[in-house]
Amino acid sequence: MTPHSIPKGRVLITAQGMNTSQWSHILGQGGRDVVLEPANSETGTDPSISYAVLWRYPHGLLKRLPNLKLIFSAGAGVDHIMTDPDIRSMHADVPIIRVVAPNLTRHMVEYVVWRVLDHHRQGALYRDQQRRQHWEELGQPTAPQVTVGIMGLGELGKAAASALRALGFRIAGWSRTPRVLDGVDCFSGADGLTPFLNATDILLTLLPHTPATEGMIDYGLLARLRKDGPLGGPCLINAGRGRLQKEADILRALDEGILKEASLDVFEREPLPPESPLWQHPRVFITPHAAASSDPNELAPLMVEQMEAFERGEPLKNLVDRNRGY
């Protein structure tokens, strides 16, 4: 492809729950035309759109964009796009690009360190003692006695592993394909899952939601976590996706003492419905999918760089592998 062989394309941003006018302003700073809706032509299609920046968008939208050249996820997870039937039919060859960005990774690392330290330093028990004005020092294991098991050793899992290692925790990791990471006891695939779980005191899930990972955080999995660990029971932290977990199983495991505590940032249904018993559970800590949100000031310029690289015929970064689904 010769340089500048593709004209500057028009951008559509559709991202429910995000500040799309801010996104649009930043995406358009280099003089690029940005719209929040496809034009309403007679056929219902808008052939002028080359790039779509998407987050929780209505499926059916992509049908209206016959000349789409690149799809950008406005977040690291791409399950909202991979579950859209239109990306397998009319857009089967359109590259999908996900977010990999230093500040998003930093935010996830902050969340992970916060939640791991809270479980490790027995935050829930001390908060309860404070409520009861009860003064009692609890026994405290040291970090090297505790294993944090990280499911997902991608961009976020690797960064979390290195921050937690620096605090002295033992780290185990589990991924789809075998990985070798300094200071991490790495496991992979179906055969590696049980030994990984058996070694884990604090389970941290940073997996994508795919058909292979859906619903895998269930009672049977939680029952395989280390039982005789130094924290008096295993803890779960899920900052990956809600569809990884079966919430009824988490509640059962908590109530039967199989699981000591849980920190959940993501849920089967979001917002978490008011009737969910998770809200009131004394050993569950809830955040509203806030572990690492997408900042247009950081992400929109990275997207524009990729559009420009594409228009110059240069290779793209952070491409989603459609077969793996992430």
Q: Which two tokens stand for residue 113?
A: 């360190």
What is the smallest separation between the CB atom of 48 and ligand NDP, expressed in angstroms? 31
CB 274 within 8 A of CB 303: no
Residue 73: how many other CB atoms lie within 10 Å: 25
Q: Output 265 or 311, the one with its CB closest to ligand OXD.
A: 265
Q: Is position 154 an interface residue for ligand NDP (rule: CB under 6 A)?
A: yes
The answer to whether 229 touches 201, Cβ cutoff 8 Å, is yes
Is residue 241 part of the annotated active site? The answer reads: yes
State the nearest-atom distance from the C-beta of 56 to ligand NDP, in Å.
13
Choose between 7 and 190: whose C-beta lies nearer to ligand NDP.
190
Sign of CA dihedral 257, 262, 266, 272: positive
Among 213, 245, 263, 306, binds ligand NDP (CB under 6 A): 213
Cβ of 147: how many Cβ atoms within 10 Å?
22
Tell me phi and psi for residue 254, to 5 degrees.
Answer: -65, -45
Give residues 86-105 in contact with ligand OXD (rule: CB under 6 A). Answer: 99
Residue whose entry in the numeric block shows the structure tokens 């951008």? 11
Which residues, numbered 168-187, are part of the site for ligand NDP (CB under 6 A)?
Answer: 175-177, 179
Q: Is 229 in the site for ligand OXD (CB under 6 A)?
A: no
Catalytic residue chosen out of the listed positions 120, 170, 241, 243: 241
In whole angstroms, how close is the CB of 74 to ligand OXD at the nearest point?
8
206: contact with ligand NDP by CB under 6 A: yes
Buried b (16+ CB within 10 A) or exposed e, 38-62: beeeeeebbeebbbbbbbebeeebb
Stretch that binds ligand OXD, among 69-77, 135-143, 302-310, 318-326 (CB under 6 A): 69-77
Q: Which of 9, 38, 77, 234 binds ligand NDP (CB under 6 A)?
A: 77
Residue 253, CA distances (Å) to 105, 146, 223, 224 in order? 30, 20, 8, 11
- Check residue 168 and give left, alpha or beta (phi > 0: left; psi -120 to 50: alpha): left
Q: Which stretch binds ligand NDP (CB under 6 A): 120-128, 203-211, 225-233, 268-276?
A: 203-211
Tokens at 257, concatenated: 């003492």
Q: Which of residues 285-314 bind ligand OXD (CB under 6 A)?
A: 292-294
Cα–Cα dist 68/89, whole Å: 13
As measured in angstroms, the least distance from the Cβ of 296 to ligand NDP is: 15
Nearer to ligand NDP, 38 or 157 (CB): 157
* Whether residue 324 lies in the annotated active site: no
Residue 191 CB-density burial (10 A; 0-12 exposed, 13-18 middle, 19+ buried): exposed
Per DSSP, 26 falls in state: H
Least separation in angstroms between residue 213's CB and ligand OXD is 14
Residues in contact with ligand OXD by CB under 6 A are 75-77, 99, 292-294
Active-site residue set: 241, 289
